[in-house]
């Protein structure tokens, strides 16, 4: 390539890069008057929004004593909002008068404001301005923002479909304050060596302040009618994925356990083998206010007398389905992210599925309204 052609080629690349950056959607700062206070938030509307289609809504809560602008530099979810068509909101905490005016969610003692009604009011305001799918409102956050996400799952459960929390477990004694009214998706990303939010909970002078990761996941598994024993798969040498599912294989609780991880937001700092932003969106987006979308549409109230069993489980190559009926049944195999990987038809004379092409992981086989979980291994 000649020097002149190279310069022209380079200029063209620079032009397109500049065009891409300049044409990207930006955050918009807004305010809301609530309970006599001016509350601030930042909102991002993806370029695909046309005012005709209802979009999911995701709140992302900053950690304690932080600002929206600072947190957005760590957890900038605009690329995800663009790729997956959801509206993104970063609310700003107010100064906590009981903690030196630090910018905290959940003031440490009775204060002048309550952030849960603020979020409910914020949902109403955003829904008045934009077409929102009110069955798909989600919350996530880091550290104290994660703790506040649990709070919303407990105290604003009638409006929150699923939440994600990083670097924080729940406050102790959830039975006294947590009142979920529907199956609620919960994903956590926790480091086993977190010295700020200990993985094994916090007990001081005989008083329990925060649940251990084990106790917290058991609590949510019980709330969602899941089996108490989780299924574990290895994501990387430093990350293990634990999932809790119902008897019909519907996952409602998931933990990404970061071995040796600290008080981090993986993908930005600490562990870099997973990305907290991506993991949280991939998980919460599978739920609506009725629960796991795939399972809530495949009704738990199904009155069909058809019965299906699968074996072996775990399976290496060929999955056999025991079918008690002679007519043909359509099947689909889903990943844990809800993606359809295989599909076809089964009947009494053709009842095997070749799953050898699937990577080792957990999958769900759906036949009519029945959902069965299986594990593919090498």
Position with higher pLDDT, 82 vs 290 = 82
- Angle of the 144-155 helix axis to the 115-129 helix axis, nearest 10: 80
pLDDT at 34: 93
For residues 366 and 335, the answer to whether their CB atoms sit within 8 Å is no
State what percent of residues in the chain have pLDDT above 90. Answer: 66
CATH topology agreement for domains 24-297 and 308-376: no
Model pLDDT for residues 122-172, shown as the tens digit of each residue: 999 999 999 999 999 999 999 999 999 999 999 999 999 999 999 999 999
Task: Give Rg (Cα) of the chain.
Answer: 23
The C-alpha atoms of residue 165 and residue 154 are separated, in whole angstroms, by: 13
Model pLDDT for residues 27-62, shown as the tens digit of each residue: 999 999 998 999 999 999 999 999 999 999 999 999
Q: Which fold would CATH assign to domain 308-376?
A: Immunoglobulin-like (2.60.40)
Domain segments of the chain as ranges: 24-297, 308-376
Q: Kindly indicate the confidence band of residue 369, based on its pLDDT and cuts at 50, 70 and 90.
A: low
Mean pLDDT of the residues in the chain: 87
Q: 133 — phi, psi (to 5°)?
A: -85, 95
Among candidate residues 347, 363, 249, the one with its CA nearest the CA of residue 315: 363
Which whole number is the average pLDDT over 67-93?
98
Q: What pTM does this model have?
A: 0.75
Q: Does domain 24-297 have CATH number 3.40.50.1820?
A: yes
Among candidate residues 50, 53, 52, 58, the one with its CA nearest the CA of residue 81: 58
The C-alpha atoms of residue 102 and residue 47 are separated, in whole angstroms, by: 35
Which whole number is the average pLDDT over 102-113?
76
Contacting residues for 254 by C-beta, under 8 A, at least 6 apart: 186, 187, 188, 241, 242, 243, 244, 283
Contacting residues for 83 by C-beta, under 8 A, at least 6 apart: none
pLDDT at 15: 40
The C-alpha atoms of residue 74 and residue 82 are separated, in whole angstroms, by: 17
The tokens describing 114, both together, are 């309550």
State the Cα angle at 198 between 192 and 202, rounded to 5°. Answer: 145
């Amino acid at each position: 390539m000649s020097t002149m052609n190279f310069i022209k080629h380079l200029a063209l690349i620079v032009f397109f890069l500049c065009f891409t950056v300049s044409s990207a959607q930006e955050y918009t700062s807004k305010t809301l008057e609530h309970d006599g206070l001016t509350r601030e938030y930042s909102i991002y509307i993806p370029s695909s929004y046309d005012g005709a289609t209802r979009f999911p809504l995701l709140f992302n809560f900053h950690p304690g004593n932080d600002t929206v602008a600072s947190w957005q530099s760590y957890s900038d979810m605009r690329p995800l909002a663009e790729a997956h068509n959801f509206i993104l909101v970063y609310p700003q905490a107010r100064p906590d008068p009981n903690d030196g005016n630090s910018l905290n969610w959940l003031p440490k003692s009775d204060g002048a404001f309550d952030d849960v009604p603020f979020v409910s009011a914020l949902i109403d305001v955003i829904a008045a301005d934009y077409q929102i799918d009110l069955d798909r409102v989600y919350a996530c956050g880091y550290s104290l923002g994660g703790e506040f996400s649990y709070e919303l799952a407990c105290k604003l459960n009638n409006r929150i479909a699923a939440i994600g929390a990083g670097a924080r477990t729940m406050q102790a004694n959830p039975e006294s304050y947590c009142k979920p009214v529907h199956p609620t998706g919960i994903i956590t990303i926790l480091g086993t060596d977190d010295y700020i939010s200990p993985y094994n909970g916090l007990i001081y002078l005989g008083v329990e302040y925060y649940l251990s990761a084990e106790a917290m996941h058991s609590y949510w598994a019980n709330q969602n009618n899941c089996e108490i024993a989780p299924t574990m798969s290895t994501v990387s040498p430093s990350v293990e994925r634990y999932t809790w599912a119902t008897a019909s294989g519907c996952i409602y609780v998931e933990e990404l356990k970061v071995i040796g991880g600290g008080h981090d937001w993986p993908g930005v700092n600490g562990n870099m083998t997973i990305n907290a932003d991506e993991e949280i969106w991939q998980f919460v987006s599978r739920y609506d206010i009725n629960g796991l979308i795939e399972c809530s549409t495949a009704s738990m109230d199904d009155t069909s007398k058809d019965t299906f069993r699968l074996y072996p489980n775990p399976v290496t190559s060929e999955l056999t389905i025991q079918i008690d009926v002679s007519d043909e049944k359509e099947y689909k195999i889903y990943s844990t992210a809800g993606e359809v990987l295989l599909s076809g038809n089964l009947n009494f004379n053709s009842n095997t599925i070749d799953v050898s092409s699937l990577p080792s992981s957990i999958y769900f086989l759906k036949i009519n309204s029945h959902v069965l979980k299986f594990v593919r291994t090498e």
